[in-house]
């Protein structure tokens, strides 16, 4: 992406030499304590290192709640998180997403795929390939085969896939919290058959355009990082520094969810826990506050040391401070 294109977003230009961190929620409902905790860590990483902190609303998914983005931003502000510039709306970025796909296509790195998820799971895969890895069914079709396959699925349209480099099945990276990591890469989807650009492509293009050089997010997204690094390399983009934060778990050991009780700020307020107390609980879970303390977000910047962050999940127990 050209440098001139990087200065057109709400996050500002990268020309000042100051990098940026970001938080990128999907507007599918209220943020719960796990989301807020990850956002707080991302903000602390950025602010403590002198970076800008940017906000992006990732609204590509069809499962969107009207008003959810505004509610999420209010909750983030309530616990002391601020950001630079206006939030970037991901669906406003379609021109750049399509330009990235066109750039890859011009180099022969894109092909049509008519496979369904069932087709992929049923197909034989290469030895040692992870479950669900794309087996390359549509990769080497000729023009006549592509046309016949396209006709066979009409009115459904083909997806577009990346033609990953031959022989490349895995990429490694160093994570600031998890250490050395590696994961599978394959012919990932770039645009779905319904016309929606895929998350991996959008996040890579948007982070680069916003000048993001530090990505802090939940560790459930760590497995997708090698695919994003592959796209960065193919598009000639810099790879950010990554830090994947251990998730918050409910009392049953599963990922925190609404079934686990009062897990959003609104629900906590109804139980008598205000935003300041919620921030204190999050800070305690990160080793940045003592029990019952209500430190300001700015004070947490002074206390923040990435090396001292917990590397294990935080277990939230309703009716308690949740630290475990």
Residue 322 lies in a domain: no
Is 296 annotated as ligand-binding? no
Residue 320 lies in a domain: no
Least confident of 59-68, 215-224, 268-277, 297-306: 59-68
Q: How many CA atoms lie within 13 A of 219 on its CB side?
A: 17
Residue with tokens 């991996």: 200
SS (H, E, C) 119-166: HHHHCCCCCCCCCCCCCCCCCCCCHHHHHHHHHHHCCCCCEEEECCCC
Residue 108: which domain range? 95-201
Is 217 annotated as ligand-binding? yes
Please write the tens of the pLDDT for every residue from 94-114: 999 999 999 999 999 999 999
245 confidence band (pLDDT: 50, 70, 90) = very high
Distance CA 30, CA 258 (A): 10
The pLDDT score that the predictor gives to residue 121 is 85
SS3 172: strand
Is 258 annotated as ligand-binding? yes
Listed residues 159, 174, 201: the one ending a domain: 201
State whether 186 and 236 are in the same domain.
no
State whether 190 and 285 are in the same domain.
no
SS3 168: coil
Kindly state the tokens that stand for 90: 């991901």
DSSP summary character for residue 197: B
Please write the tens of the pLDDT for every residue from 164-206: 999 898 999 999 999 999 999 999 999 999 999 999 999 999 9
Backbone angles phi, psi at 22, to 5 degrees: -160, 160
State whether 192 and 52 are in the same domain.
no
State whether 41 and 186 are in the same domain.
no
DSSP summary character for residue 32: B
Q: Are 42 and 217 in contact (CB under 8 A)?
A: yes
Distance CA 255, CA 219 (A): 11
Q: Is the pLDDT of residue 262 over 90?
A: no
Listed residues 184, 201, 218: the one ending a domain: 201
The pLDDT score that the predictor gives to residue 320 is 56
pTM of the model: 0.89
State how far the alpha carbon of 245 is from the alpha carbons of 67, 145, 154, 200, 239, in Å: 27, 45, 42, 19, 18
Kindly state the tokens that stand for 78: 């309530």
Q: Residue 16, by phi and psi: left (phi above 0), alpha (psi -120 to 50) or beta?
A: alpha
Angle at 130 between CA 107 and CA 102, to 5 degrees: 20
Residue 146 lies in a domain: yes
Does residue 287 or residue 135 have the better pLDDT?
Answer: 287
Residue 14 lies in a domain: no
Q: Is the pLDDT of residue 120 over 90?
A: no
Whole-number percent of the chain with pLDDT over 70 = 90
Is 118 annotated as ligand-binding? no
Please write the tens of the pLDDT for every residue from 42-56: 999 999 999 999 999
Q: Is the pLDDT of residue 130 over 50?
A: yes
State whether 107 and 156 are in the same domain.
yes
Region 262-278: mean pLDDT is 92
Q: Is the pLDDT of residue 145 over 50?
A: yes
DSSP summary character for residue 73: H
Residue 321 lies in a domain: no
Is 107 annotated as ligand-binding? no
State whether 78 and 133 are in the same domain.
no
Which contacts of 135-142 are long-range, i.e. CB under 8 A and separated by 24 or more positions?
Answer: 136/187, 137/113, 138/111, 138/112, 138/113, 138/114, 139/111, 139/163, 139/187, 141/111, 141/112
Q: Are 201 and 190 in contact (CB under 8 A)?
A: yes
- C-alpha dihedral over 246, 248, 253, 256, to 10 degrees? -140
Is 233 annotated as ligand-binding? no
> How many structural domains comprise the chain?
2
The pLDDT score that the predictor gives to residue 17 is 66
- C-alpha dihedral over 106, 110, 114, 119, to 10 degrees? 170
Is 111 annotated as ligand-binding? no
Residue 47 lies in a domain: yes
Q: Are 321 and 284 in contact (CB under 8 A)?
A: yes
Is 113 annotated as ligand-binding? yes
Is 271 annotated as ligand-binding? no
Proportion of the chain in helix, strand, coil states, percent, rounded to 5 = 40, 15, 45
The pLDDT score that the predictor gives to residue 240 is 98
State whether 175 and 208 are in the same domain.
no
State whether 82 and 172 are in the same domain.
no
Q: Are 208 and 178 in contact (CB under 8 A)?
A: no
């Amino acid at each position: 992406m050209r440098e001139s294109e990087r200065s057109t977003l709400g996050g500002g230009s990268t020309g000042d030499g100051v990098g940026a961190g970001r938080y990128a929620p999907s507007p599918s409902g209220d943020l719960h304590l796990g989301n807020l905790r990850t956002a707080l860590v991302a903000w602390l990483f950025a602010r403590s290192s002198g970076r800008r902190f940017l906000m992006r609303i990732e609204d590509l998914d069809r499962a969107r709640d009207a008003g959810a983005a505004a509610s999420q931003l209010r909750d983030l502000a309530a616990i002391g998180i601020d950001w630079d510039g206006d939030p970037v709306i991901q669906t406003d970025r379609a021109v750049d997403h399509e330009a990235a796909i066109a750039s890859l296509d011009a180099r022969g790195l894109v092909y049509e795929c008519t496979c369904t998820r069932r087709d992929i799971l049923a197909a034989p895969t290469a030895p040692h390939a992870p479950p669900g890895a794309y087996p390359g069914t549509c990769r080497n079709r000729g023009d006549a085969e592509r046309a016949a396959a396209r006709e066979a699925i009409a009115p459904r349209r083909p997806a577009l896939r990346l033609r990953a480099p031959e022989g490349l099945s895995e990429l490694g990276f160093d994570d600031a919290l998890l250490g050395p990591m590696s994961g599978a890469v394959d012919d990932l989807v770039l645009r779905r058959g319904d016309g929606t650009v895929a998350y991996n492509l959008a996040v890579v293009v948007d982070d680069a355009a916003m000048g993001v050089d530090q990505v802090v997010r939940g560790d459930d997204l760590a497995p997708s990082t090698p695919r994003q690094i592959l796209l960065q390399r193919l598009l000639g983009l810099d790879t950010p520094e990554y830090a994947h934060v251990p998730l918050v778990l409910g009392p049953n050991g599963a990922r925190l969810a609404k079934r686990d009780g009062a897990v959003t700020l609104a629900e906590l307020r109804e139980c008598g826990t205000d935003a300041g107390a919620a921030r204190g609980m999050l800070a305690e879970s990160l080793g940045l506050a003592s029990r019952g303390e209500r430190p300001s977000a700015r004070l947490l910047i002074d206390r923040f040391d990435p090396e001292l962050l917990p590397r294990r999940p935080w277990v939230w127990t309703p009716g308690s401070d949740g630290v475990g």
